[in-house]
Structure 1
Amino acid sequence: MTARSYVVCVTLLLLVGRFCFSAEETNKSPSISVGEKRQGTLQPEETQAIALQATEGDFVRGSISGSGTMLMLIDSKKQLVRCLADGRGPNLPYMFVVGDAGPYELQVTSQTGGDYQLSVDAIVAAKDQVAPARVLASPRLRQLQQTLATGGTTASFWEKLEAEGTPLVEADGVLPPLARDEALVTFLYRGAKRNVRLFGAPSGDHDDLQRLGDTDVWYGSYRVPSAARIDYRLAPDVPELPGSGWERRRAILATAQRDPLNSLAFPADNIDIYAGSSVVELPDSPEAPWLERRSDVTAGKIERHRFESKVLGNTRDIYFYRPADYDPQAAENGLAVFFDGDVYLNEVGIDAILDNLIATGEIRSTAAILISNPSPQSRSNELPCNAKFAQFVAEEVMPWAKSQGLDADRQRTVVAGASYGGLAAAYLGLEHPELFGNVYSQSGSFWWAPNALNASVTKPPAEWLTREYVTSPRHEVKYFLEAGSFEANDRIGSILTTTKHLRDVLEAKGYDVQFREFPGGHGFFYWRYNLPRGLIDVLCPEMTAVIKMK
């Protein structure tokens, strides 16, 4: 409490005490009810009382005007309940809820005197204190809402969706109206008992779907770019568990499954409904000509090796990709080093993408080193800015690969990865610029800092690698950064925000940086579609000429 507020409150109490004696003697206060105004003139330090026509539980809102005029709420025992306006303003609003010590009075007073006007603008009874009905964005759901209001059921609604498929994608009749480049996507689930959560929501979090009244319809509507592709899973009746917030959040994996009314999935050949994700492609989503293996393109060669690291003390799979007709002596060869190598190979299909891009001349002849993880736990330990892992790549993998004929000038060598792998790629660019002249990060986890997952939600992680770039000398490395518009959630640290922050730091340091924000979220489904464009940016045949011109 400030000194002035304390003086005001003491003054009010003294004035109230003076008035309470008078009120008990006269007990002739005028009254005021909703929509009414009371005007008057006060002498210095005079108090006037006005009885309030309201009952317990009522919400009361109004205002008082008058220079230096103060307003107090008094209970049936003539005790001060609260100060509603302290006189510091010519026109002050007030609001309160009537308690069980009524009837109440409103007391108007002023130390200096003057004219005042008191109004009661609204009195809302407890039974009427309900939120307005939710305005549904989806015109199909609004139509269903009307059907239910007239005694209908959800049967025909679900029957149509079983034929059409889900989610709903709508453009006309959406409330409020969509922008020209937007669409409304409504995810739906039928028949859960307690809750439904959307794994992979466009919000970037695991959102709760809403229930339509007491029906079997659970829904969540999102305005998204009309060029987006989205992968998602639905998790009905997620258990509430004791434990940490992280453990409770991960409980969604117990029931997360593909959408039973959506036949489009990634990967496409999963039989188990709990495997893979459902996919929705919006009307303006761009074509993806580089992803599927083409019959007129000769496939490159994949070799699997078991590699034992003395630096890390473990063994992992490392894959070599060599293009068709690869000449290890060619001066213009490119080389790409990817983390999460088995995922890029088996889920993304990087070999087919490279085959297609090389065959059509979009990128130079490029070999690839695909470094896998010994285990999920080792991935979490090794990829986030680990000096030992950087040493493993620089001192063990790269010399060994060179001895096997996989080598290129640093200007045509790129280190790449996604999420933690994207973070690792940027770290390798900082630690070993003599090997990597290019860094390609797909949704890099640049929020990361030591112990970041245990950090307080009120104190976000410190973006450790970005800080390292601030204080480190600049090297001749080009950066290609991507992040999705759905990756803006700040629960741990927004990947979109922290990627932009790294971009800004790199630009301020004088680095050559390209940044792309794509209409999507976090996952190899999204990175797969972005990968061909990113590889073209990094490994186009004209890149060498551009570098020489500089």
Structure 2
Amino acid sequence: MGAFAFLPIPPMAQPTALCGREPAAKWSASRTNLATSVAYIGTRLNAVPLPVRRFSFVSSLPYRPAPSLLPSKVIVPRPFIILGILISLGFASFEPATAEEPFILDGDQHREAEFNKSGSHTLTLELDAGEYVQGEVSGKQVTLSLIDAKGGHVRRLASGSGQQAFMFVVGDQGPYRLQLATSESSAAIVKLTNVVPPENQFPPPIRIESPSLRELQHDLQRGEGTDAFWKKVASQGTPLIESQGVEPPLASGELLVTFLWRGARNNVRLFGAPSNDHDPMIRLEDTDVWYRSYRVADTARITYRIAPDVPELNASAWVRRRAILATAQRDPLNHKYLPETAVDMFAGESLVELPNAPKQPWLTPDPQAVSGQVEPHEFASSLLNNRRDIFLYRPSEYQPGTHQNGLIVLFDGDKYLEQANFATVMNNLIAAKKIPPTAAILITNPSSQSRSEELPCNPLFAKFLAEELMPWARDQGVYADASRTVVAGASYGGLAATYAGMKHPELFGNVYSQSGSFWWAPDSSPGEPEWLTKQFVNADRLPVKFYLEAGTMEVGRNGTPGILDTTRHLRDVLQAKGYDVRYREFASGHGYLYWRFTFPFGVIDLLSTPNP
């Protein structure tokens, strides 16, 4: 038997990966490579004797050499051998050249791959588990998928045309691959724009905005303590209010307000404005200083409490959130708080008034103003099947039936009397002739539960107002034309006032909402908020004038719309329907400590001049 000859073949072009930002190299066997190889073989190869094999096709028979017309050895001329090799290599090399060797992307030297043919392309990722990857893919009608080591689909990263960003964290089922599918022959490019290993994944250092705290930090680095800092803070009071040296610099009309607490073991939370939430305070290194800074409009009023060491409970989210009330208290270094009659540190709220906060002289009794009378009444409702207190306010100059008389119908009336200085404000406004003689019906709630049932857009409660309360008040000599009657309230009360104006414009020609709860929907449906606003969209315009206000700090949480956003939306809807709408925003939050300052503005606006 003859022997086969094995000859060395020169190396052909090998697949390469992208380095840096250069275009990705592609490899396929070419005719040039083939011709070079064959020429090389031809120079080394002489005529090779090939063996002639003989076979018996019946395995059970003894071997019998078959007669042959060929000699025992055949000399094949060299040109035929070269031609055979050429044909063999040609079949091997000129198969469809669409398959490509996998490209390597490692986020270091190999960061980009480009493809100019349609089809499926594979990119091997040499990345470690836990690495955070950002990238981009661009092209027409491309699909990019992440594939694990077993070929399983992990996730679709991009699909479509144009430049698309993607990101993922490398798992533990690697090595992973990117599978790119293109349906167009135009170029498609895959880039890794950022790869961050686990050891480099950490938040940026906390940036201390307050110059006072940065100075304290420098003192600590020199080995000093915090006693001198706290002594200075106690002398000037809290929170810190700074305008110079803030980093980064403040915008025009802003001040930096930094809240402070000394000495807590586990945590401290700020309860209230400016964020309208329960913000955690930050501990300055390993000291007794806890702080939180906010950039606030210089027109702001802020009420707040501070809660040190809030208990961590194994309970529902609602129970855990309410646990803040166990330790929430006034700021001991802020000596301005409301109400001024608070019985202990856990009662009332601390108050911050920035330099340009709107002044409100109407809250202080005017010695020249004649006081009106506040009459308590108990009112039984057959419609609602309950009893409540009703207060009637009558100014000294009030004469029933006079055309210019005004009337305010106010929800949560006891709160306005106690916390918003309602009677003092009315006495002062009437004495200063800012509004005509105006009486008021102040409605209370039998209970907190009944408030939650009656005020949010309750048709039965609206019927109670129209058929029971207003006729009774008229019998008491307290009434006015609809064009001179204002129905008003705050929070749920603002929502109820707006609903009452929609249901009974023949009684209430003016609506005043302070921080109305326009996010509300029946059954607290999270998918369909702002129910009342939708009713105005679908209803004809009514003869009602609106005054709406909201605080810039009354923002939503967890992606849900808050009072600020929903009040703006209602304003836009009413204006689009052709209503007369006055709208104001104040740098404030939610509560009577804010509403007491803004209430006179709305009353003056609605009652100072007759409606057109």
Of the two, which has the highest radius of gyration? Answer: 2
Q: Residues 438-453 of structure 1 correspond to what in structure 2 (within 5 A)?
A: 438-452=510-524
User: Could you tell me which of 172, 179, 193 is aligned with 2:251?
Assistant: 179
- Structure 2: distance between partners of 1:444 and 1:117: 52
- Structure 2: distance between partners of 1:182 and 1:310: 53
Contact residue 17 and residue 110 of structure 2 kept, 8 A: no
Q: Which residue of structure 2 lines up, in the alignment, with residue 287 of structure 1?
A: 359
Does residue 503 (structure 1) correspond to residue 571 (structure 2)? The answer is: yes
Q: Which residue of structure 2 lines up, in the alignment, with residue 538 of structure 1?
A: 606
Q: What is the TM-score normalised by the length of structure 2?
A: 0.74
Q: Which residue of structure 1 lines up, in the alignment, with residue 550 of structure 2?
A: 483
Residue 156 of structure 1 aligns with an amino acid whose one-letter code is A
User: Could you tell me which of 51, 60, 63 is aligned with 2:111?
Assistant: 63
Spell out, residue by residue over 1:458-511, the C-alpha distance to the aligned partner (whole angstroms, 9 max, x if none): x3x421111222223322111111111111214453111111111122222222
Classify 1:92/1:424 alpha carbon distance in 2 versus 1 (closer, same or farther; 3 Å). closer
Classify 1:83/1:417 alpha carbon distance in 2 versus 1 (closer, same or farther; 3 Å). closer
- Structure 2: distance between partners of 1:279 and 1:121: 49
Contact residue 265 and residue 309 of structure 2 kept, 8 A: yes
Contact residue 243 and residue 255 of structure 2 kept, 8 A: yes
Measure how far apart 1:405 and its partner are. 1.2
- Structure 2: distance between partners of 1:394 and 1:85: 60
- Structure 1: distance between partners of 2:168 and 2:476: 78
Q: Residues 139-154 of structure 1 correspond to what in structure 2 (within 5 A)?
A: 139-154=211-226
Classify 1:153/1:339 alpha carbon distance in 2 versus 1 (closer, same or farther; 3 Å). same
Query: What secondary structure sits across from 2:567 in the alignment?
Result: helix
Residue 63 of structure 1 aligns with an amino acid whose one-letter code is R
Residue 497 of structure 1 aligns with an amino acid whose one-letter code is D
User: Could you tell me which of 24, 28, 42 is aligned with 2:27?
Assistant: 42
Spell out, residue by residue over 1:118-169, the C-alpha distance to the aligned partner (whole angstroms, 9 max, x if none): 9998776644443331112222222222223333332222221111111111
User: Could you tell me which of 582, 585, 592 is aligned with 1:514?
Assistant: 582
Q: Which residue of structure 2 lines up, in the alignment, with residue 224 of structure 1?
A: 296
Q: Which residue of structure 1 lines up, in the alignment, with residue 142 of structure 2?
A: none
- Structure 1: distance between partners of 2:595 and 2:548: 12
Does residue 265 (structure 1) correspond to residue 334 (structure 2)? The answer is: no
Measure how far apart 1:229 and its partner are. 0.6
Contact residue 443 and residue 482 of structure 1 kept, 8 A: yes
Query: What secondary structure sits across from 1:160 in the alignment?
Result: helix
Query: What secondary structure sits across from 2:346 in the alignment?
Result: coil
Once structures 1 and 2 are overlaid, which stretch shifts more, 508-517 or 145-154? 145-154
Classify 1:216/1:381 alpha carbon distance in 2 versus 1 (closer, same or farther; 3 Å). same
Q: Residues 351-500 of structure 1 correspond to what in structure 2 (within 5 A)?
A: 351-452=423-524, 455-456=525-526, 459=527, 461-491=528-558, 493-500=561-568
Contact residue 417 and residue 423 of structure 2 kept, 8 A: yes
Classify 1:293/1:90 alpha carbon distance in 2 versus 1 (closer, same or farther; 3 Å). closer
Residue 42 of structure 1 aligns with an amino acid whose one-letter code is W
Contact residue 24 and residue 113 of structure 2 kept, 8 A: no
Does residue 529 (structure 1) correspond to residue 597 (structure 2)? The answer is: yes
Measure how far apart 1:385 and its partner are. 0.9
Query: What secondary structure sits across from 2:522 in the alignment?
Result: coil
Classify 1:79/1:466 alpha carbon distance in 2 versus 1 (closer, same or farther; 3 Å). closer
Contact residue 149 and residue 173 of structure 2 kept, 8 A: no
Measure how far apart 1:70 and its partner are. 5.0
Classify 1:198/1:115 alpha carbon distance in 2 versus 1 (closer, same or farther; 3 Å). closer
Contact residue 103 and residue 122 of structure 2 kept, 8 A: no
Contact residue 390 and residue 431 of structure 1 kept, 8 A: yes
- Structure 2: distance between partners of 1:300 and 1:90: 71
Percentage of pairs with the same residue: 50
Q: Which residue of structure 2 lines up, in the alignment, with residue 17 of structure 1?
A: none
Contact residue 167 and residue 186 of structure 1 kept, 8 A: yes
- Structure 2: distance between partners of 1:443 and 1:140: 35
- Structure 1: distance between partners of 2:111 and 2:476: 82
Contact residue 335 and residue 412 of structure 1 kept, 8 A: yes
Query: What secondary structure sits across from 1:206 in the alignment?
Result: strand
Measure how far apart 1:84 and its partner are. 12
- Structure 2: distance between partners of 1:382 and 1:72: 64
Contact residue 73 and residue 83 of structure 1 kept, 8 A: no
Pairs aligned (count): 505
Contact residue 65 and residue 90 of structure 1 kept, 8 A: no
Measure how far apart 1:435 and its partner are. 0.8
Query: What secondary structure sits across from 1:535 in the alignment?
Result: helix
Query: What secondary structure sits across from 1:451 in the alignment?
Result: helix
Measure how far apart 1:94 and its partner are. 8.8
Measure how far apart 1:31 and its partner are. 11
Classify 1:71/1:144 alpha carbon distance in 2 versus 1 (closer, same or farther; 3 Å). farther
Does residue 320 (structure 1) correspond to residue 392 (structure 2)? The answer is: yes
- Structure 2: distance between partners of 1:115 and 1:464: 50
User: Could you tell me which of 207, 220, 229 is aligned with 1:135?
Assistant: 207
Spell out, residue by residue over 1:240-266, the C-alpha distance to the aligned partner (whole angstroms, 9 max, x if none): 334443333222222211111110001
Classify 1:260/1:394 alpha carbon distance in 2 versus 1 (closer, same or farther; 3 Å). same
Measure how far apart 1:367 and its partner are. 0.7
RMSD, aligned α-carbons: 3.7
Q: Which residue of structure 2 lines up, in the alignment, with residue 10 of structure 1?
A: none
Classify 1:403/1:72 alpha carbon distance in 2 versus 1 (closer, same or farther; 3 Å). same
Q: What is the TM-score normalised by the length of structure 1?
A: 0.81
Once structures 1 and 2 are overlaid, which stretch shifts more, 391-400 or 116-125? 116-125
- Structure 2: distance between partners of 1:287 and 1:64: 62
Classify 1:31/1:71 alpha carbon distance in 2 versus 1 (closer, same or farther; 3 Å). closer
Q: Which residue of structure 2 lines up, in the alignment, with residue 211 of structure 1?
A: 283
Query: What secondary structure sits across from 2:285 in the alignment?
Result: coil
Classify 1:133/1:334 alpha carbon distance in 2 versus 1 (closer, same or farther; 3 Å). same
User: Could you tell me which of 223, 230, 234 is aligned with 1:162?
Assistant: 234
- Structure 2: distance between partners of 1:412 and 1:86: 61
Residue 483 of structure 1 aligns with an amino acid whose one-letter code is A
Classify 1:136/1:393 alpha carbon distance in 2 versus 1 (closer, same or farther; 3 Å). same
Of structures 1 and 2, the one scoring higher in RCO (CA 8 A, sep 6+) is: 1
Classify 1:514/1:29 alpha carbon distance in 2 versus 1 (closer, same or farther; 3 Å). same
Contact residue 37 and residue 117 of structure 1 kept, 8 A: no
Q: Residues 117-132 of structure 1 correspond to what in structure 2 (within 5 A)?
A: 126-132=198-204
Q: Residues 323-338 of structure 1 correspond to what in structure 2 (within 5 A)?
A: 323-338=395-410
- Structure 2: distance between partners of 1:379 and 1:117: 62
- Structure 1: distance between partners of 2:374 and 2:194: 75
Contact residue 40 and residue 115 of structure 1 kept, 8 A: no
User: Could you tell me which of 110, 117, 125 is aligned with 1:73?
Assistant: 125
- Structure 2: distance between partners of 1:124 and 1:207: 30
Classify 1:304/1:142 alpha carbon distance in 2 versus 1 (closer, same or farther; 3 Å). same
For structure 1, the 5+ residue unaligned runs are 1-27, 53-58
Classify 1:308/1:142 alpha carbon distance in 2 versus 1 (closer, same or farther; 3 Å). same
Spell out, residue by residue over 1:338-389, the C-alpha distance to the aligned partner (whole angstroms, 9 max, x if none): 0000000011011000111110111111011111111111111111111221
Does residue 301 (structure 1) correspond to residue 370 (structure 2)? The answer is: no
- Structure 2: distance between partners of 1:403 and 1:525: 34
